[in-house]
Every structure is written in C-alpha cells, then in structure tokens.
A and B are shown apart, each in its own frame.
Chain A
Amino acid sequence: MRNWRNHSGLILPILTVAGLVLWPVITNNLSNREIVFTILKAIALASSLNILLGYTGYVSFGHIVFYGFGGYVGLYVVNDQGWSIWLGVLTGGIAAGAFAFLLGKAILRLRGAFFALATIGVNEAMEAFINNFDLFGGSIGITLNFSVYKTYGGAAQALNLTFYIMAALTFAAVLISYIVRTSKFGLGLRAIREDEDAAEIMGVIAPDAKNWAYVLSAIIPGMVGVLFFFKNGNVEPHVAFPLHSSIELLVMVMLGGQGTVFGPILGAIAYQGMRGYLLTSSFFKDIQLSVSGVLLLIIVLFIPEGAVGFLRRRFPPLRRILI
C-alpha cells in the first residue's frame, strides 16, 4: 500500500460496502439494518465464490456447503460448548477451510461439468449426513439456547453485534478478493482459468494453487454461516444447505461480472434489490422466479461477461477503477 494510486481499483468496492454499512447506522432504522445485513451476506458469499468461479474458472454448484458446514460447527461450539461468538465464528471459518482443503484434494482433479456435478453431490451428501448426525441434532437441528444472548447484553444487543461482525466479514471478503486478484497467486489462478495445462507448463503449480483458492473461497462462507445461524437462533439441515442459494450466488457473480472485484458486489446488490422489488410488487409477486429466470437467461445469452466486464470492454478508461 505504499502507493495509493496503484490501488485505485479498491476505492469503489470499499466505498460501496462502507456506504451500505453506514446507511442503517445513520438512519438508525432496524428494518434497514436487516435489509443491509442480507445484502452484506450476499456480497461476502458472492465475493468468496468469485475466487473459485471467476479467477480460477471452476464452477461450484454447491458452494453453500461451506456456509452450512461452517455454520453448523460454529453454532455447535457456541451453543453446546459455551464458546463466545467470536471464537465460534473463527471455528466455523477454520472448519470450512479445513473441509475445503480435504475436499479440494479429492474433487479438484475433476474438470468442467464433472466438478460442478461433484459439488452438487457433496452438498446433498452433506445435508443428508447432517440429517442423521445426532451430535448436531439430526433432522431437528440446533436451537440456540436463548440465555446465550445474555452474555452480549440481551437479544437486541446481540443482533446489533452480529451486524457489525457481518460488516467486518464483508470487508474482509472484499479485501481478500482484491488481494488475490492483484497478487501473483491470483495471476496463476487466472492462468489456470484460461488453460490449465498451459499454466502448468509455465510453472504454475496448478493442484496447489487450485486447492488454496478453494480454501480461501470457503473460509468466509463458513464464518458467515455461523453468524447467520447465531442471529436466527436455530439451524436445520434443509435451511443450512439450500442448493438454490448456491445457484443464486452464481447468478450474482454472473450478473456483476465474474473474475472482477467489483462485479460480485454489484451483482449481489442488484440481485437482492431486484428480488426484493419483485417479491413486494403486486404484479410480479407470483411469477417472481420466472422474471428472474428470464433476466438470467438474457444475461447468459447476450452479456456473458456481466455488467462490470461489459463496462470494461466498452469503456477502456474505466479499467483503472473497475477491476
């Protein structure tokens, strides 16, 4: 960070996230806080997924498995072992990262659609397994003991705290995304995306690079999971591993522009905003999903590089700030 001019790509992402965080703080409105919490969660998850999807070019259809798994582990240590939420979030992140490391060793050997299919299989297998795993409450899940909130000065204070932790996690996700994008490691990942065999010949140690990209993209979702389940007060298997959320994340990344830092942020805000609008409008309420589907189809067919990619292509001067 010696020369700020070299980091002009970071300005827009940081300002956007900061603006989002400050909005409910300034208006002091609880419903705004909930809206922003959802958007921040989407930004954190989409930015993490982008490390694997956008930079490395591996399509994970079951990325939500890290969110569910990390969340389960974290909530378990908070509820049953009496750890603090800080340690719980950390544990969830470590658990998700370790899981991604082991899983990556196995399934990152697969390429293209086979990898995508395997991630779906892993997500479904994990959900079915947790459903039978008694330590985590089986199909009933874990319900947070209400007295846990007392440590943080009651439920209202605890919810306030989760908002700020969420904000911190979102900043962390965006920073990681930016650092990976601009580092030599990230350059290796993008070489893998373009042509994995050629990248290996040029000296990128592809298996290791892919595996670390997978781990990096799993840690933040694991932490977000803990936080979200802690805020909700309970977790059940079918809530923790929703396959459609994985795909919503893919849509956000595609919408904003895969492989860019600002793309997932823009995509997450646009998708959540659109979804909120469609769900509340009287005309689109019932066919909300169909309208999203048509929009997605148009993007995939006509602007596959996403909004940020499109702007970068059409307006080259913007490339300095939009990365």
Chain B
Amino acid sequence: MQQLSLLLASLPDGILLGFVYGVAAMGLTLIWGVMNVINLSHGPIIALGMFGTFFLFIRLGINPYLALIPIAIFGLLLGIVIYFAAVHRVINAPHLSSLLATFSVSMIIIGLGTAALTTSPYNVDFNMGSFRLGSTTILGTRLIAAVIAILIAGGLYIFLYRTRPGKYIRAVANNRDAAELMGIPSTRILALSFGLGTMLAAVSGAMIATFFPFNILSGGSYELKSFVIGVLGGLGNPIGALAAGLILGVLEGIIPAFMESSWVPVIEFGLFVIILLFRPQGLFGSKR
C-alpha cells in the first residue's frame, strides 16, 4: 500500500519529465535520421539552452517561456554554424569521423563554458505554483513544460509533413542523391536539419533549467538519456522519440517505488543495449 502511494506520487512527475526528455531526443534522432550522424555535441547544447534561460530570466527578467523563442533561434543558428564548420566535410566519411568531429565541437563548447561559467551549479528560481491531484502534487513548471513539449512535437510533425522545407528534409533523409536530382538544395537542407536538431536540444535544456539546478556539464546525462530514448523510439523517428521519452519518464517514475533509485541507470542502459541488440529499429519501427 505504501509502495502504491509512492508510485502514485512519483509517476505523474516522471510522465511530465518524460515529455521534455522526448524533445531533447527528438533533436538527436532528427539529425540521425536525415544524415546518419550521431551528434555528440548534443549535451553541451542542452547545457547552453539551460544557461540561456538563466541569463534571459535572471539577468534580463524575461519570462522563461517567452525566452524559449530567442533560445530556439540561437539554437538553430548555432546548429547551422556547427554543421558548416564541423559536419559538412565528414558527412560521407566513416562514422568515426563524424562522431569525433561532433565530439570535438562538444569539447570546444565545454572548454569555453567551463572557463567562462565555471562548473559550480546554477539555479533558476522560478515557480509556477502547484496543485494537488489526488494524493500527488503536480508542479506548475513541469505541467507547462510538458504542454510545450507536446506543442513542439505537433509543430515538428506539421513542419515535416505539411510544409515544403519539411518535405525537402524528408526527401533528403530518404535518398540524398535522388533528392538532389529533383532539384532540392541538399546542403542547405542538411544544415537546416542539423540546426533544427540543435534547436530542439537547446529548447529542452531551457525547460529543464526550470526544474533542476545545472552547470555546463549537466547536458551529458541528458545526452545519454537522449541516446536511450532515441534508440527506444527508433533512431530517425522524431515522433517515436516523444513516445519513448514518455516510456523513460514512466520508468523513472515507477522504478524508485520498488528498488533504490540508484538502480534506475542500470535498468535504463541495460534496456538500451537490449533494444539495440534485438530491435535496432526501435519499439515502433517496422522491420527493415
């Protein structure tokens, strides 16, 4: 009975967090789907998003949800810059090259970030109140963030399936050579996709900053979560990522009710390896 009440208390929190994890993973999986590149600078960009909220809200007093817009634009531009500086030359090279190129970007961001911001924790003291739902308390910040996450996922879906640039992105993801023959400017589309991926990372970081304290290294653990979620949902499937984010959130909500919370990463990463082995196309993907 005690476990049940604990479960009821932690589950809604986990679900709401799961949506935000899902947004971060959508960014990772979008880049993978379009250009087969695993973006190892994902974590530091999430951390930059966190600091975006910090500076815009604490220093300039802009509402954190309004601040998402400039952070998103910044994330998009940063992604395009990273694409042309680091990724474009190695996009057809073996995987090791693109992995190391994006990792070197991550080293550059973390190095500069550590020098400028140190590694001591920052905190965005922002409260949207809370309300009780049965025996559990739901924090306003998490509820709003989850709603925004759903809106972002919906927006991405409409963008990819209803607009011309979105269709271009899907065409390039499907077959780059054929897309080019049809007159699609593939380099620009690749840069745009990379920018969208980093934009989603920065936005998710900005929302996470309203929940937890953070520093420049905090992005790393969300990057690893994004890998797990991306693989669960099927790499290259942004909508699957949102659903898988929810699964991860539920797991994080359920597991502490039954065992010590330090077992959570064991189960997460164990599941990750098992999914990679037996369903590399993800839980929702069809057999290729």
* Across-interface contacts of B95 in A (CB, < 8 A): 59, 112-113, 116
Contact with B108, one of A109, A112, A290 (Cβ below 8 angstroms): A290
**B binding-site residues for A, Cβ under 8 Å:** 32, 36, 38, 85-86, 89-90, 93-97, 99-101, 103-108, 110-112, 114-115, 224, 227-228, 231, 260, 262-266, 268-270, 272-273, 276-277, 280
A227 on the interface (CB 8 Å rule)? no
Count class of interface residues, chain A: 35 or more
User: What's the nearest-Cβ distance from chain B to residue A252, in Å?
Assistant: 12
Residue of B nearest to A131 (CB): B262
Contact with B273, one of A121, A139, A247, A294 (Cβ below 8 angstroms): A121
Q: Label chain A's interface by main secondary structure.
A: helix
* Across-interface contacts of A112 in B (CB, < 8 A): 95
* Across-interface contacts of B100 in A (CB, < 8 A): 250-251, 254, 296, 300
Q: How far is the CA of A254 from the CA of B94 in the complex (A)?
A: 13
Is the Cβ of B104 less than 8 Å from the Cβ of A286?
no
Q: How far is the CA of A24 from the CA of B119 in the complex (A)?
A: 36
Which residues of A (270-317) have their CB < 8 Å from a CB of B? 286-294, 296-297, 300-301, 304
Q: How far is the CA of A61 from the CA of B227 in the complex (A)?
A: 13
User: What's the nearest-Cβ distance from chain B to residue A15, in Å?
Assistant: 29
Q: How far is the CA of A304 from the CA of B98 in the complex (A)?
A: 11
Is the Cβ of B115 less than 8 Å from the Cβ of A114?
no
Residue of A nearest to B87 (CB): A301
Residue of B nearest to A302 (CB): B89
Q: Which 7 pairs, one residue from A and one from B, show the smallest C-beta to C-beta distance?
A: A290-B111, A293-B107, A289-B111, A125-B269, A128-B265, A293-B108, A286-B115
Residue of B nearest to A289 (CB): B111
* Across-interface contacts of B99 in A (CB, < 8 A): 59, 61, 113, 116
Which residues of A (104-118) have their CB < 8 Å from a CB of B? 106-107, 109-110, 112-114, 116-118
Is the Cβ of B224 less than 8 Å from the Cβ of A120?
yes
Is the Cβ of A296 less than 8 Å from the Cβ of B104?
yes
Is the Cβ of A296 less than 8 Å from the Cβ of B38?
no
Q: How far is the CA of A112 from the CA of B276 in the complex (A)?
A: 12
Q: Beyond A124-B265, A131-B266: 12 further Cβ-contacts under 8 Å?
A: A110-B276, A113-B95, A124-B224, A125-B265, A131-B262, A286-B114, A287-B115, A288-B111, A293-B111, A296-B100, A301-B90, A304-B97
User: What's the nearest-Cβ distance from chain A to residue B234, in Å?
Assistant: 12
Is the Cβ of A300 less than 8 Å from the Cβ of B38?
no
User: What's the nearest-Cβ distance from chain A to residue B88, in Å?
Assistant: 9
Query: A62-83 toward B: CB 8 Å interface, digit per residue (1/0)?
Result: 0000000000000000000000
Is the Cβ of B263 less than 8 Å from the Cβ of A118?
no
A151 on the interface (CB 8 Å rule)? no
A122 on the interface (CB 8 Å rule)? yes
* Across-interface contacts of B264 in A (CB, < 8 A): 128
Is the Cβ of B227 less than 8 Å from the Cβ of A120?
yes
Is the Cβ of B96 less than 8 Å from the Cβ of A250?
yes
* Across-interface contacts of A32 in B (CB, < 8 A): none
Is the Cβ of B103 less than 8 Å from the Cβ of A121?
no
Give 28 A-B contacts (CB < 8 Å), ordered by A residue. Answer: A53-B96, A59-B95, A112-B95, A113-B32, A113-B38, A113-B95, A113-B99, A117-B231, A117-B276, A121-B227, A121-B276, A124-B224, A125-B266, A125-B269, A125-B272, A128-B264, A132-B260, A254-B100, A258-B96, A286-B115, A290-B111, A290-B112, A292-B107, A292-B111, A293-B105, A293-B107, A294-B108, A304-B90
